[in-house]
């Protein structure tokens, strides 16, 4: 059996990945959604990363001598990939954003710290959705924004070039389908860069005949353009099932600050739909929008304002923390 290397258990995770590639070992990568005593890990070959490096270089412009800033722990698959790719490309990973000419960020990191980057920096943003307001604000600061959508299990699925129109199109060698299983509008992908499965508890990855796989994100794919609405996480409130993605798809494009939809416990209704904002001035607009465009069951009943949205180690919104 091929040896498994767990990079986050090494003092130098990047060196551990490079060594695994030389020896033919597979990677067992921690995931941001892992809970419980036995962590869930995504298992993949190092070659599934190496084969995608040239396309990632073309997308991001990272090459020999580039200075790449990727804040956050190397336990995050996104950050670890960026750091390993930098080593492969002959680039340097740096700690000071003011010295960077390239960066790898989540949308929330872009919002929080994008103003620390010099004008002209090429920024690759990883996530299901990059709000137009964030992209516009970053471009006004002189940043060149590239956006991609993927998952630890699937690797790259779609990307938007900084020189294009900002919409997501299939990444090189990736095929995309929209199916009605396991839920209507589920995004399925087929590519050379899929993972081998999990070590530890099972995750959201599903496979189908013909090399297709999904992690359960929902969206649409028309005329070669992918729109991602996110994971269909649901809130059950007073017997109604509310998909968080449905509510955020209405509210997020109109918000000038950050917005996260989540559940808060309720003693009789089970849970309430809540919206946490980072800009108090957004509330009036979003409440009106919710009344006009969302059914009663989907309208947030709780509105809160915080200075910053809490994030997981992987740079995603920590909805559990918001619920608490």
Residue 35's pLDDT is: 40
Q: Give the class (CATH, top level) of 234-323.
A: alpha beta
Average pLDDT (162-188) is 90
Residue 44's pLDDT is: 96
Fold of 4-168: Rossmann fold (3.40.50)
Q: Report helix, strand and coil shares of the chain as percent, to nearest 5.
A: 30, 30, 40
Q: Is the pLDDT of residue 182 over 50?
A: yes
Domain ranges of the chain: 4-168, 234-323
Residue 164's pLDDT is: 65
Query: Model confidence at 39, in pLDDT bands (50, 70, 90)?
Result: low
Helix (H) or strand (E) run with residue 237 in it: strand 234-237
| 177 within 8 A of 166, measured Cβ to Cβ | no
**Minimal CA–CA distance to 84: which of 165, 30, 7?**
7
CA angle 292, 295, 296 (to 5 degrees): 100
Query: Comparing 58-62, 83-87, 227-231, which segment has the lowest mean pLDDT?
Result: 227-231
Report d(CA 229, CA 153) in Å as an integer.
Answer: 18
265: which 2 tokens?
């416990």
Residue 234's pLDDT is: 80
296: which 2 tokens?
């009663």
Q: Would 4-168 and 234-323 be classified into the same CATH topology?
A: no
Query: Model confidence at 89, in pLDDT bands (50, 70, 90)?
Result: very high
Q: Which residues of 234-264 are buried (b: 16+ CB within 10 A; e: fewer)?
A: bbebeeeebbbbbbbbbbbebbeebbbbbbb
Residue 144's pLDDT is: 94
Residue 33's pLDDT is: 47
């Amino acid at each position: 059996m091929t040896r498994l290397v767990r990079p986050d258990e090494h003092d130098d995770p990047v060196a551990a990945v490079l060594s695994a590639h030389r020896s033919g070992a597979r990677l067992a990568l921690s995931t941001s959604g892992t809970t419980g005593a036995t962590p869930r890990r995504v298992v993949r070959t190092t070659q599934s990363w190496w084969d995608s490096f040239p396309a990632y270089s073309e997308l991001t412009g990272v090459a020999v001598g580039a200075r790449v800033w990727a804040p956050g722990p190397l336990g995050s698959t996104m950050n670890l990939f960026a750091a390993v790719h930098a080593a492969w490309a002959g680039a340097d990973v740096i700690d000071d954003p003011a010295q960077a000419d390239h960066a790898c960020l989540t949308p929330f990191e872009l919002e929080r710290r994008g103003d620390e980057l010099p004008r002209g920096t090429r920024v690759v943003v990883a996530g299901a959705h990059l709000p137009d307001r964030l992209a516009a604000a970053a471009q006004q600061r002189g940043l060149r924004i590239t956006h991609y959508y993927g998952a630890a299990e699937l690797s790259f699925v779609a990307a938007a070039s900084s020189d294009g129109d900002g919409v997501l199109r299939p990444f090189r060698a990736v095929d995309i389908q929209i199916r009605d299983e396991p839920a209507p509008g589920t995004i399925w992908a087929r590519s050379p860069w899929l993972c081998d499965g999990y070590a530890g508890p099972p995750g959201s990855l599903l496979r189908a005949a013909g090399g297709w796989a999904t992690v359960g994100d929902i969206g649409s794919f028309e005329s070669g353009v992918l729109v991602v609405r996110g994971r269909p996480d649901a809130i059950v409130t007073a017997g109604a099932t509310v998909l968080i993605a449905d509510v955020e798809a209405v509210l997020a494009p109109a918000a000038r600050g950050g917005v996260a939809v989540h559940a808060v416990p309720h003693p009789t209704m089970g849970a309430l739909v809540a919206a946490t904002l980072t800009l108090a001035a957004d509330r009036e607009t979003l409440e009106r929008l919710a009344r006009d465009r969302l059914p009663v069951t989907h309208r947030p009943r709780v509105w809160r304002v915080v200075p910053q949205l809490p994030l997981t180690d992987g740079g995603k919104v920590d909805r559990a923390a918001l619920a608490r």
